[in-house]
Structure 1
Amino acid sequence: MKIDYLQALKRIDEARGAWILHGQEPLLEQNLVDAFRQSWTKQDIERQRFDINNVSEWKNVFNALNSLSLFSQNLAIEVHGNIKPDANSLKLLKSYIQHNEHNLLVIIMPKQDSSSLKSAFFQTVEANGVVVSLTANYPKERQQILAVEAQKLGIQLEQDAWVWLEQHHEHNLLAAKNSLMRVADTFPNESTIQISHLLECLQDQSRYSTFDLSDAMLSGNLSQAIKTFQYLIASGEPYSLILWTISKEMRLLMQLFEQPQNALQLGIWKTKVNLYQQALRRLNPQHFLTWPQLLLRIDAAIKGKSQENPEHLIQQCIAELCGRRLFGT
């Protein structure tokens, strides 16, 4: 079964079997994962997490699903990664779906292309479980999602304020949510937010944005990129949004290197194709191999799952995108 983000939110408490969450909207992923964890805590469901770095690690997931601890009746397992099960693991997945209806397997993946969505893995889960696309392609969808966030904060926006907010953040839901939080904090006695409130609250935050950071990195201007990054941190921009911006640019550059004729199909704006092409000419493709692991380290540092400093790692990433290396291999 395929459902969207808002439908998924309503099914959290009764979720069982196998679910796949895939997409490129960090706000939607973050909200759903948080909702799952809160539900598991409320229901006293044991939770385990696996990060899949190679296909052989899938067997650890299914071994865990079939072996509860002495203190648990139900188990929820989070799997993070972009590696699909092989044929042997797919058999284990089918067996789990058929025979273990009380546990829950939630697989969190980045955006998938059309061929991946037609794979046996996705087809198996879609036929026997739930596949959630973490996308919001239309203004109405984005406004519905953000309206839920506004409601949590005890505010609502006038219609023209919604339009302004979306244009201001160029469809970036996570950035828009952060702006809602700022405006709610700035005007605690206002329940209805107008454009004037947004302007007063956000205009002092608009000196630099994550879009300026992207432009500086793609241009290879390391000093400007670091300056922009430091401004964003000082103005309260969350590390997760900055990581999303960096990972998006890294992914697009790696995809463009593999498909140099498909810039527009990859989602690169026509006015910025030349900027990406210049960046590729400046960068060493061999360094691309180290980027996914570096992004995983940043994610772990942000979530407190490692002792590394996320700010230092992000600066390392910025340098990589500018064609510079802060440290040797």
Structure 2
Amino acid sequence: MQVKPEQLSQQLKSGLKPVYMVSGEEPLLQLEAVDEIRAAARAQGYDERQVLRVERGFDWQTLQEEGNALSLFATKRIIELKLPNGKPGTEGSKKLVQYLEAPPEDTVLIIEAGKIDKKTLGSAKWCKAIDKLGVITQVWPIKPQQTLTFMRQRANKLKLNIDYDALEILSSRLEGNPLAAKQELDKLAILHGNNTISVGMILDEVKDSARYDVFDLSKAMLSGQAKKTASIVGHLKAEGNLPITMIWPLSRDVRVLEGLIPLIGQQQRVDAYLKGKRIFAQQQADYVSAAKRLNTKSINDLTLMLKKIDDASKGVFGSEPAWLLIEQLAMHIAHPPK
């Protein structure tokens, strides 16, 4: 059966299945889903754990041998199969189907796989075998618009008493980066415990930080502070930030500006649009300021720059240096060319 990540806990309470497969492209959520399955198994006495990593030259017979092996230390075992690319190949597919035709007793197989497309899930024999006998859970990257909901759920789980507006500011800084969101909320839980976390406390934390972040870059370029924008880009690069971490926030700013530009001069529509995009009140003036400096051609240019930054961050041959492109994009917003 296929189970959504948020339904996994309930399924585990109803009883362990012989096989679980967690696939997708979001490492944090995938890791946590696997941890949850492993914890449920251990709670039921599955104390021994064997890890198999599918790499070049992997012998698929090892899976069957591990399944048939007698445990020296425990009667219940977990076998974890790491399948990074989500493709077991012809031999692996046969061995998985063979294993699942007669799964060993008192053994839970957990498959941690990369992205598997819908067609493969529905037609591949090994996927159908897992679906019939066990549970398939797919986890996907958090979309920018889902970040606030993701962080609210996390905050509730941590019993964090944080104002909605304060959480909104944090989510705007951490869009599309669940690991950073988790780390930030964990830090707040340690620092503030059960105390209420207000907007002022979050803003003070940002202001007092000795290091720049992409939130500072966004504010500087949107408000038209060209000199400060260039300085922040330099600091971000010097501090060892990866160019790929800049893409989501910069893309979000460009998308917001693209929709805002045609509305300039229509205050009610501007207010409604920015509210709909969850732009915090203290940020709205910066977006309006940037929208007044830019036009449709600017957005087309910025979109092309984002594509170049994405290529450069992935090491596409012939790309310009990623940080040079980031600086060009930020400066284009802060001080558009005439």
Q: Contact between 1:20 and 1:109, CA under 8 Å: does it hold in 2?
A: yes
State TM-score, norm by structure 2.
0.59
Specify the alignment match of 1:79 in structure 2.
81
Q: What CA distance in whole angstroms lies between the structure 2 residues aligned with 1:138 and 1:226?
A: 25
Residues 116/34 of structure 1: CA separation in 2 closer, same or farther (3 Å cut) = same
What secondary structure, in the 3-state scheme, does the structure 1 residue paired with 2:22 have?
strand
Q: Contact between 2:159 and 2:194, CA under 8 Å: does it hold in 1?
A: no
Specify the alignment match of 2:7 in structure 1.
7
State TM-score, norm by structure 1.
0.60
Deviation at 1:132, TM superposition (A): 0.8
1:160 to 156, 159, 165: 165
Q: What CA distance in whole angstroms lies between the structure 1 residues aligned with 2:198 and 2:60?
A: 50
Q: What CA distance in whole angstroms lies between the structure 2 residues aligned with 1:137 and 1:226?
A: 25
Unaligned runs of 5+ in 2: 218-233, 249-302, 323-338
Specify the alignment match of 2:239 in structure 1.
228
Q: Map 1:131-146; keep pairs closer than 5 Å.
A: 131-135=136-140, 137=142, 142-143=147-148, 145-146=150-151
1:187 to 192, 206, 210: 192
Residues 276/150 of structure 1: CA separation in 2 closer, same or farther (3 Å cut) = closer
Deviation at 1:282, TM superposition (A): 3.4
User: Alignment identity in percent?
Assistant: 25
Residues 30/271 of structure 1: CA separation in 2 closer, same or farther (3 Å cut) = same
2:99 to 84, 96, 101: 96
The one-letter code of the counterpart of 1:82 is: N
Q: What CA distance in whole angstroms lies between the structure 1 residues aligned with 2:5 and 2:131?
A: 15
User: Larger Cα Rg: Structure 1 or Structure 2?
Assistant: 2
Unaligned runs of 5+ in 1: 213-222, 233-241, 249-268, 284-317, 319-329
Deviation at 1:271, TM superposition (A): 4.3
Deviation at 1:82, TM superposition (A): 1.9
Q: What CA distance in whole angstroms lies between the structure 1 residues aligned with 2:60 and 2:215?
A: 36
Residues 119/157 of structure 1: CA separation in 2 closer, same or farther (3 Å cut) = farther
Deviation at 1:188, TM superposition (A): 2.8
Deviation at 1:166, TM superposition (A): 2.0
Aligned positions, number? 244
What secondary structure, in the 3-state scheme, does the structure 1 residue paired with 2:69 have?
coil
Specify the alignment match of 1:110 in structure 2.
114
For 1:272-292, what per-residue CA distance to the aligned partner results, in whole angstroms no more than 9, with x for missing partners?
Answer: 112344652337xxxxxxxxx
Q: Map 1:17-32; keep pairs closer than 5 Å.
A: 17-32=18-33
The one-letter code of the counterpart of 1:58 is: W
Specify the alignment match of 1:64 in structure 2.
66
C-alpha RMSD of the superposition: 3.9
| 1:200 corresponds to 2:204 | yes
Q: What CA distance in whole angstroms lies between the structure 2 residues aligned with 1:147 and 1:19?
A: 28
The one-letter code of the counterpart of 1:134 is: V
Deviation at 1:28, TM superposition (A): 1.0
Specify the alignment match of 1:274 in structure 2.
308
Specify the alignment match of 2:228 in structure 1.
none
